[in-house]
Amino acid sequence: MFVERELEKAFLEANDFFSVLLLTGARQVGKTTFLRKIASSRRRFVSLDALDQRNKAKRDPRLFLADNPPPVIIDEIQHVPTLFPYLKEIVDNVRTTDPEKANGMYWLTGSENFDLMEGVSESLAGRIGIFNLFGFSHREIVGVPSTPFLPERFCDKGMPEMTPQELFREIWLGSFPELRCARNPEKRWSIFFQSYLQTYLERDVRKLAQVADLGIFHGFLKAAAARSGQMLNYSDLARDTGISVPTAKRYMSILETSTIATLLHPYKNNRSSETVSTPKMYFLDTGLMAFLTDWNTPEALASGAASGHFLETWCVSEILKSYSEKGQVPSIFYFRTKERNPSEIDVILQENNTLYPIEIKKSARLDKADVRHFGKLAPSGMQVGTGALLNLYPTVCHLTENVLVIPATML
């Protein structure tokens, strides 16, 4: 199965402006495959995963770059972040002497880490466009073009009908291209994620993040996966994993920088003292989340106690992908008050001085009570736009004058 990536248009448009493009993302989301597919035959390819090339780049960066002149793809740049100052030197020279040749000189891929992003910010600011690639989005899998999600511009044209059972199969399988493009992915699900975790732990966590005890980190991963879609409580994570709170915070930062998980921060307004300050944490692949929490079939997952958290995690991930695919980063938050019986809104998107509230429910009912907290945004001083209830109701319709019901299956 071949899947067109929605990021292609935004990436190639940026290629006409920036001298360097960096594509980041989690391991095995298809970064190298994507770049090699859209590259012209003139663009060379070199991987720093190969030890000989990596050692050459470290030992003599000028010679390495001379042997691999632009236009070129340099894969796995995080292995040699010391290349960035030399890339800057070459780029600045071309921009000065022959500006017409300065665009699109270097395409880089890398798994985000502290050294990588520090090198980018210090050496290539203003010269580099940075894109993040996720696993397949739902719309990429079904072959329907996407737009950055916003309730008022939502379009279900071309989206195939899907039952809740089929949706939870999608959630359970996850979004990694290698698994999703395989024949009979259900049969390969367990071995794929087992291999993925082993590779992630050995190559990224041990080497790049310098974590000594991989067994403890694996336990932290499982504990974090079980809390996706919930407010982040470092004390609970530390207690359940047998580590200190500072270590739990460091481990969570590893999940963030390696794009395994993301944090959704609470919305703050002129009444911020009444709202919580703790972020919510979401895994970015629900297949990995299911594997780590031992849901071994989509049927068990759909009927299990955690199914609501899985649906919410999947919806948030799809919303993020819809922006990332266009080279955009959304202003996205959640809302929760400090009251004993708190008011909460799962997702708030902010655009053009307008707030768009979104609630996610694993139900097929039309109940105005599900969006009763949307009115809490009125005192924020911001305009409140069209809201959305994402659930399992099969068709798009109005729940109220200003709230749409949108099937999660159509994201």
Tell me the per-residue pLDDT of 363-411, one tens digit each, with 9 for 90 and over: 999 999 999 999 999 887 889 999 999 999 999 999 999 999 999 999 9
Structure tokens belonging to residue 21: 């493009």
d(CA 210, CA 288): 22
- Going by C-beta distance under 8 Å and a sequence separation of 6 or more, which residues neighbour residue 55? none
**Residue 273's pLDDT is what?**
64
Q: Decide the pairing of beta strands 106-110 and 72-75.
A: parallel
* pTM greater than 0.85: yes
Mean pLDDT of 235-254: 95
d(CA 226, CA 309): 9
CB atoms near residue 194 (< 10 Å): 11
Tell me the per-residue pLDDT of 133-170, one tens digit each, with 9 for 90 and over: 999 999 999 999 999 999 999 999 999 999 999 999 99
Mean pLDDT of 242-265: 94
Task: Assign 126 a pLDDT band (cuts: 50, 70, 90).
Answer: confident
Arithmetic mean of pLDDT over the chain? 93
Task: Assign 270 a pLDDT band (cuts: 50, 70, 90).
Answer: low
Tell me the per-residue pLDDT of 209-242, one tens digit each, with 9 for 90 and over: 778 899 999 999 999 999 999 999 999 999 999 9
Tell me the per-residue pLDDT of 39-81, one tens digit each, with 9 for 90 and over: 999 999 999 999 999 999 999 999 999 999 999 999 999 889 8
Yes or no: say if 108 and 24 are a contact pair by the CB < 8 Å rule: no
d(CA 87, CA 389): 47
**Residue 113's pLDDT is what?**
61
Backbone φ, ψ for residue 398 (5° rounding): -90, 130
**Residue 115's pLDDT is what?**
62
| Secondary structure (3-state) at 275 | strand
The percentage of residues in the chain with a pLDDT greater than 90, rounded to a whole number, is 84
Task: Assign 268 a pLDDT band (cuts: 50, 70, 90).
Answer: confident
Task: Assign 271 a pLDDT band (cuts: 50, 70, 90).
Answer: low
Tell me the per-residue pLDDT of 75-122, one tens digit each, with 9 for 90 and over: 999 889 899 999 999 999 999 999 989 999 999 998 766 566 676 767
Our measurement of the distance from residue 324's CA atom to the centroid of its chain's CA atoms, rounded to an integer in Å, reads: 8
Q: Which residue has the higher pLDDT, 126 or 303?
A: 303
Backbone φ, ψ for residue 98 (5° rounding): -150, 75
Structure tokens belonging to residue 181: 């493009």
Identify which of 229, 22, 51 has the alpha carbon closest to the alpha carbon of residue 110: 22
**Residue 185's pLDDT is what?**
97
d(CA 311, CA 239): 27
**Residue 341's pLDDT is what?**
87
Backbone φ, ψ for residue 168 (5° rounding): -70, -20
Q: Is the pLDDT of residue 2 over 90?
A: no
In order of 18, 123, 127, the CA distances from 14 in angstroms are 6, 19, 11
d(CA 223, CA 88): 42
Backbone φ, ψ for residue 353 (5° rounding): 60, 25
